[in-house]
Amino acid sequence: MWFLYLVLVILAITFTILGCKMASKGNPWGILVASIGIIVIGTLIAYCLFEQWKKENLKSELGKIKEKLGIIDEDENDEDEDDEDEDE
């Protein structure tokens, strides 16, 4: 899946640069080509930021549910047992 994102980023950068070159030579279609490239880059950045937020939000919600149910993680139990062993 990361390969697809890499290809899209390369295409977006290419469209942006190509569109700027076309526009600098007086071709009005260059504006459209550059806009397509910028839109793709913006969409990819927004998607990455949204996925990061969604993951953090999911962790937060799971933490709240665990608190309500009184569930303690097994990792925390293991650490508590290790601390008791060291005290003896």
d(CA 52, CA 85): 39
Q: Find where tokens 């295409």 sit.
A: 11
Residue 85 has pLDDT above 70, yes or no: no
pLDDT above 90: percentage of residues in the chain = 0
Which residue type, as a one-letter code, is found at position 44? L
Please tell me which residue, 37 or 76, carries the higher pLDDT value: 37
In this prediction, residues 28-38 reach a mean pLDDT of 84
d(CA 39, CA 2): 19
pLDDT for residue 86: 57
